[in-house]
Structure 1
Amino acid sequence: MTERILLVDGMALLFRGFYATSFTGNYMITSNGTPTNGVFQFLRYFTNAIETFEPTHVICCWDMGSKTFRTEMYPAYKGNREAPPEELIPQFDLVKEVVEAYQVPNIGLVNYEADDCIGTFSRKFSNTHDVLILTGDHDMLQLVDYQISVAIMRKGIGNYEVYNQENFAEKMGVIPSQIIDMKGLTGDSADNYPGVKGIGEKTALKLLSEYETIDNLLENVHLLTKGLQKKINENMDMLHLSRELAKIKCDVPIECTLEHAIWKYEKEKVNDFLTELEIRKAETFLI
């Protein structure tokens, strides 16, 4: 059996789970007043992915606050996001306790995003193992490489689009490393940085198809139309900054041994913990 490491983007699953269940006002409040809807849906996503992809090892990575080296570089980074709903806040710690009950390591480092932890582990472990990244974040696609795949969660449970080295160019129209240059040109409205104003995805794809990289594009900027030259020259600083903001760091000082990440847990212990949380149908999460 091929050993496969599943790297879980914990915050992506929790936020997705919270909003998927709270839009009706159903927060699943326990008898002591703690909301658990996000945790419940997280469990559905988490256990389904493990059943679907059958990893031998699992690591869950987390953001550790809104301030990171990226906000130091660009204070407006993700500055368009509202504070999390009050019903979600107590679930941040609670969901990590659930992950811990499954004997899965929770990894995060102050000043970095979960993406950077996942990038670091994916590079480290892909030398010897297949690595699969579970997320809803398309920024992670830049990490696709030899023995590194990314499963993007689609609407519903058990609906994934898996990107790997073989299908990436056909699906995306670029290669993984060009995702960073794409973001440099187009920016990212979700993360609140603009890229080059006036250049959208279609133009960026055309430029990268022709010039392959931003560096090569800038060496040949004189060959572009006057309009494109003007846009790029007027936004040169933001072009370089946007590319830096988009790039996932793969050298974060974090550690997790593979032995610590082996997928194994005591079903009775997990069942007791979930029952204590008043998670309905707790037995369905014992896989």
Structure 2
Amino acid sequence: MKKLAVIDGKSIFYRGYYAMPGLSLPDGTPTGGVYGFASIAIELIKKLEPDYVAVAWDKPKTNIRKRRELYPEYKAGRKPAPADFYAQVPILHELLDAFGWPFYELDDYEADDILGAFAKQATEKGIETCLLTSDLDALQLVGPLTKVYAIKNGLSNLEEFDIPAFEAKYGLEVEQFLDLKALKGDASDNLPGVPGVGEKTAISLLQDYRTLDGVYEHLEDIKPSVAKKLEAGKELAYISKEVGKIWVDAPVELDWAVASVDDTDLEKVASILKKLRFTSLEKRLPKHMQFGHIPNQPDTQVVAALKEAPWPESFLIEQPVFAELIGEDLWVSLDETTCFHQPAQRLAKASWQALELATIVTYDAKDLYHRLDALGISVHFGEVHDLRQGAFLINPLERDRSQAALVGKEGALPTEVLAANVRAYADQCKSFDEEPKVAEIARTFDFPLTYLLFKMEKRGVKIDPSKFATLSKELGDEHQRLEQEMYAMVGYEFNIGSPAQLSEVLFTKLQLPTTGIKKGKTAYSTGQAELDKLRGQHPIIELIEKTRELAKLKNT
């Protein structure tokens, strides 16, 4: 079955913006939102392998106009995004153009409506739809051919919702989600619901009476204190339902030909990722989106020492190059069986140019850069495989990761050192195959960072205190706004940093379910593992996670 992926662009961009604050190019151009968006989107594409991809966006100023005609307070009180948020949107357009992912926005309709319209159109064609968003409103779209991938926190923690997953989480059918929202409201959208009715009560009511109409038809059967709240909040409940409903009849048609993944301009993708300095993202692209190829892993026989040969007149590089600077001589192996050496300062320019295009396997890449620099040699290898760092990632508990331990003895000959590197590389490639997450960390983050760390150590890092002060204030303001939002939900102020007070709020005041929640000596735990179990039970859970993320950033 063919598959369509639709990305809720602004919500993902927003997550990326706050997850990567201050990320910018050397000329000051901000790129954090673009990086976060691309990082999340690429992981989803790798996971889902869709045939079509489209991006939906909330058009500034006009997207909520129709809903505000129904309820003027809809999304009231939201602060406008910072200036450098929207400054990055043209860069995002450039990236999407390279990917070949069409971008859709409408007057009077939100991105959720576009998601709904495309999901409906795909279902009519018998195409599966996968919706990527950080907004749980999209759960009302879950169906036999529609799944929602919701970002829980950070940039990589996705929760998949199909019909069984939704029912297991909420104890309701998907068709009841909108009625659930109508009863409990949605603080993030400023939808009131029924004042005084929380998620736990709302779920219980819908389990008993199925629909919002059913609840109001049985007020006489409901506990008087709850019935009184329901009666007083009836108008707000129905307004919340109408405003919170995703309008799947939005006037937009998906251009299937344009959305096809076959339209990706691979060279253009590689070019813009390089331009934005997103080297790690380029390496994380699925194979069908990569410009060029990744060298094959070696098939290596165990040898104690490589054979020494004369320095060749020219290099023919067809696989990773093993290189070590021993003394002032650069020792190199191109074929894993023979090696040769020459004083590094006497290497021809053509040799360095060839090495810069290769993947260099060495014991300590950053140290190699420093030692070459001390000889007056400036070089930047295309890729590196750092054996020392690879050993740490594979087995962090190993105490001795010295080169002598790698070779098996002190005072080894250069030919023995290179042979040990060949063996270690083969072993690490095998370990990376068995532990793909470790491989991703190494190849996406640790190895590409070696040159940057070398440059930072050589040059030092200038810090602009005013930028950090501005960022700290922005994070503090956002943290304070989220705190006020939580206080409004609970009805009084409390210390979010106090596990005891937070436990009191969640399990006593809001009466969230405690089934499966760890309990300490005095209170239920409010650690991240327990919050994950409560996700979707009440909007305050996501706000707690956001405040914790902001606090970590502010205190880093």
Q: Name the TM tier (shorter chain).
A: over 0.9
Cα distance in 1, alignment partners of residues 25 and 76 from structure 2: 30
Question: Any idea what SS the aligned residue of 1:150 has?
Answer: strand
The answer to whether 1:91 aligns with 2:91 is no
The answer to whether 1:248 aligns with 2:246 is yes
Cα distance in 2, alignment partners of residues 53 and 66 from structure 1: 33
Aligned pair count reads 282
Cα distance in 1, alignment partners of residues 180 and 61 from structure 2: 24
Query: 1:271 touches 1:282 (CA, 8 Å); kept in 2?
Result: no
User: Which residue does the alignment assign to 2:122?
Assistant: 125
CA shift for structure 1 position 286? 4.1
Once the two structures are superposed, what CA deviation does each residue of 1:115-155 show, in whole Å capped at 9, x if it has no partner?
Answer: 00000110110231111111111111110011111111233
User: Which residue does the alignment assign to 2:44?
Assistant: 49
Cα distance in 2, alignment partners of residues 257 and 144 from structure 1: 22
Query: 2:8 touches 2:112 (CA, 8 Å); kept in 1?
Result: yes
227 and 282 in structure 1: CA distance in 2 versus 1, 3 angstrom threshold: closer
User: Which residue does the alignment assign to 1:40?
Assistant: 35
Query: 1:30 touches 1:277 (CA, 8 Å); kept in 2?
Result: no
Question: Any idea what SS the aligned residue of 2:88 has?
Answer: helix
In the alignment, residue 113 of structure 1 is paired with which amino acid?
E
* Structure 1 or 2: more helix by fraction: 2
User: Which residue does the alignment assign to 1:275?
Assistant: 274
CA shift for structure 1 position 282? 5.6
Question: Any idea what SS the aligned residue of 1:238 has?
Answer: helix
Q: List alignment gaps of at least 5 residues for structure 2.
A: 287-556
Cα distance in 2, alignment partners of residues 115 and 258 from structure 1: 19
Question: Any idea what SS the aligned residue of 2:163 has?
Answer: coil
CA shift for structure 1 position 55? 0.7
In the alignment, residue 225 of structure 2 is paired with which amino acid?
G
Alignment equivalent of 2:72, drawn from 71, 75, 80 = 75
Query: 2:52 touches 2:260 (CA, 8 Å); kept in 1?
Result: yes
In the alignment, residue 206 of structure 1 is paired with which amino acid?
S
Once the two structures are superposed, what CA deviation does each residue of 1:183-234 show, in whole Å capped at 9, x if it has no partner?
Answer: 1111100011211111001110100000000011111122222222221221
CA shift for structure 1 position 77? 1.1
In the alignment, residue 34 of structure 1 is paired with which amino acid?
T
Query: 1:274 touches 1:282 (CA, 8 Å); kept in 2?
Result: yes
Q: Which moved more, 1:95-104 or 1:269-278?
A: 269-278
Q: List alignment gaps of at least 5 residues for structure 1.
A: none
Query: 1:70 touches 1:77 (CA, 8 Å); kept in 2?
Result: yes
CA shift for structure 1 position 114? 0.2
Cα distance in 2, alignment partners of residues 125 and 30 from structure 1: 42
CA shift for structure 1 position 164? 0.7
Cα distance in 2, alignment partners of residues 28 and 285 from structure 1: 20
Cα distance in 2, alignment partners of residues 106 and 210 from structure 1: 42
Query: 1:271 touches 1:286 (CA, 8 Å); kept in 2?
Result: no
In the alignment, residue 100 of structure 1 is paired with which amino acid?
D
Kindly report the root-mean-square deviation, in angstroms, between the aligned alpha carbons of the 2 structures.
1.6
Query: 2:25 touches 2:276 (CA, 8 Å); kept in 1?
Result: no
Q: Which moved more, 1:197-206 or 1:68-77?
A: 68-77
Question: Any idea what SS the aligned residue of 1:59 has?
Answer: strand
User: Which residue does the alignment assign to 1:159?
Assistant: 157
36 and 257 in structure 1: CA distance in 2 versus 1, 3 angstrom threshold: same
Q: Which moved more, 1:273-282 or 1:38-47?
A: 273-282
CA shift for structure 1 position 240? 0.7
User: Which residue does the alignment assign to 1:28?
Assistant: 24
Question: Any idea what SS the aligned residue of 1:283 has?
Answer: helix
The answer to whether 1:215 aligns with 2:213 is yes
CA shift for structure 1 position 63? 0.5
User: Which residue does the alignment assign to 1:188?
Assistant: 186
Query: 1:117 touches 1:254 (CA, 8 Å); kept in 2?
Result: yes
Cα distance in 1, alignment partners of residues 29 and 280 from structure 2: 18
In the alignment, residue 250 of structure 1 is paired with which amino acid?
V
User: Which residue does the alignment assign to 2:450?
Assistant: none
The answer to whether 1:107 aligns with 2:83 is no
In the alignment, residue 219 of structure 1 is paired with which amino acid?
E
Bigger relative CO (Cα 8 Å, ≥ 6 apart) = 1
The answer to whether 1:174 aligns with 2:169 is no
Cα distance in 2, alignment partners of residues 232 and 39 from structure 1: 44
Cα distance in 2, alignment partners of residues 227 and 119 from structure 1: 37
User: Which residue does the alignment assign to 2:8?
Assistant: 9
Structure-2-length-normalised TM-score: 0.49
Cα distance in 2, alignment partners of residues 92 and 14 from structure 1: 9
Query: 1:275 touches 1:282 (CA, 8 Å); kept in 2?
Result: no
Question: Any idea what SS the aligned residue of 1:177 has?
Answer: helix
CA shift for structure 1 position 30? 4.5
CA shift for structure 1 position 158? 3.8
Query: 2:39 touches 2:281 (CA, 8 Å); kept in 1?
Result: no
In the alignment, residue 53 of structure 1 is paired with which amino acid?
L
CA shift for structure 1 position 283? 2.7
Cα distance in 2, alignment partners of residues 152 and 55 from structure 1: 17
CA shift for structure 1 position 165? 1.8
